[in-house]
Amino acid sequence: MQVFQPWSVPTNCAGGGYVSSVGHVSGSISVSDTLGAFGNISLTGTDSIIGWGCSGNWTVNGDPYLSEIGTLKITGNNISADFRQSGGFVATQNGARAGCQVSVHVTWDNSLGGRVQGSVTCNPGGTASVNQTF
């Protein structure tokens, strides 16, 4: 079975602005009576942030956007995922400005669990890192 599902979802903020998320999932899945399901599904998307005013007193805009890319792999009873998010945004408040770069990697396997690794680096502000298993 072929899979292709696009999306385009705007999310408005009561404080002003919005996030426009667009992308698609695509791939194929086959099913065997004796071996189960097999296939790969890929995800590609971008999140454009425009004048987002729902982050305290900050206004956030994409620099230029956040992107997501990943794969879901199905092999019999095993399901695994590998996703990355990267990109940038700028937050401003009363003349102050912070430019931030995001780099996050998520892996997960239904028999092994998962891990989130990455960082958000803002200038000024420094780097916040994450290295967590789940």
pLDDT tens digits, 68-114? 999 999 999 999 999 999 999 999 999 999 999 999 999 999 999 99
Q: Would you place residue 22 in the very low, low, confident or very high pLDDT band (cuts 50, 70, 90)?
A: very high
pTM, entire model: 0.86
List strand residue ranges (DSSP E) for 1-134, in order: 2-12, 18-32, 36-50, 52-55, 58-76, 78-93, 96-109, 113-123, 126-133
Among residues 128, 57, 58, the alpha carbon closest in space to that of 90 is found at: 58
For the chain, which residues make up each domain, given as ranges?
2-133
Residue 35 has pLDDT above 90, yes or no: no
Confidence of residue 19 (pLDDT cuts 50, 70, 90): very high
